[in-house]
Homo-oligomer: A and B are copies of this chain.
Amino acid sequence: MQGDVDVATVAALMGEPARATVLLALTSGRAMAATTLATEAGVAPSTLSGHLGRLVDGGLITVETSGRHRYYRLASPEIAEALEALARVAPTRPVRSLRQATHAEAIRRARSCYDHLAGRLGVELCDALVSGGLLQVDGSDNGRDDPVLGAGRAKRFVLTSSGRETLTRLDVPLDPPTRRPLIRYCVDWSEQRPHLSGWLGAALLARFLDLGWVSRAERRVVRVNPAGRSALPDQLGVDLGWLPD
């Protein structure tokens, strides 16, 4: 049986709680050291070492030795895609503890996805940029069946001249020094709606961090600071009323 492609071994690799936690943590795109991941997963370093070895063998992650640390990262974006596809079908589990509940809530609220913002903040920011006239939506149907957005719901975002002006005033760099496209988007797994990626997505997060509007917390969680709480609605029209804490 399954002579085609071995879905089973890959799925099995992802199907163990500690390993899944590791992979999900690495979804942020950053590399992480073994010990960090061990505490993350809540198992002994020796146990995690075994898991990491298996993940490397399976081609899901790669290692990179630096001094006495060994940094692990996802082997390819496709792995992240697969994890998100899995997350999309995964039933939302009954929450088992308050810590988990608040963390689950926090990560839905605002998190980093590779190098840009995701979660409710990510999609609201994207919406705000559109409703504020900084971005324009070209909603043409592209003929593709999108599992998340539905049939033919593909969008395209373009920067308006007033958007370029406003963002330049905020010192957000708008000219990618590389071939990376200025504006892209990903479909957010918790919101099932698009958030900005591409050069602009990365530049916005970097700038927000610089300005102290947001900061990185544990895991992929992003926290909105008091400064951002007042500046964001003001400058970009993002309503943060839904952000407690």
Contacts and interface: CB of A to CB of B under 8 A. Distances in A.
A78 B149 CA distance: 12
B16 A8 contact: yes
A11 B20 contact: yes
Contact of A2 (B20, B88, B185): B20
A91 B4 CA distance: 10
Nearest to A84: B85
Contact of A140 (B2, B15, B41, B142): B142
Contacts of A140: 140, 142
A92 B143 contact: no
A76 B89 CA distance: 9
Contacts of A174: none
Contacts of A138: 143
The residue in A2, A13, A145 that gathers the most chain B C-beta atoms within 10 A of its C-beta is A2
A208 B141 CA distance: 28
Interface string A169-183: 000000000000101
Contacts of A55: none
Interface of A: 1-21, 23-24, 40-42, 58-60, 76-79, 81-93, 95-97, 99-101, 103-104, 107-108, 138, 140-145, 147, 151-152, 154-158, 181, 183-186, 189-190, 197-198
25 contacts: A1-B17, A1-B21, A1-B40, A1-B42, A2-B17, A2-B21, A3-B93, A4-B104, A4-B107, A5-B90, A7-B14, A7-B83, A7-B87, A9-B15, A11-B12, A12-B12, A59-B89, A78-B85, A78-B88, A85-B85, A143-B156, A143-B158, A144-B154, A145-B186, A151-B181
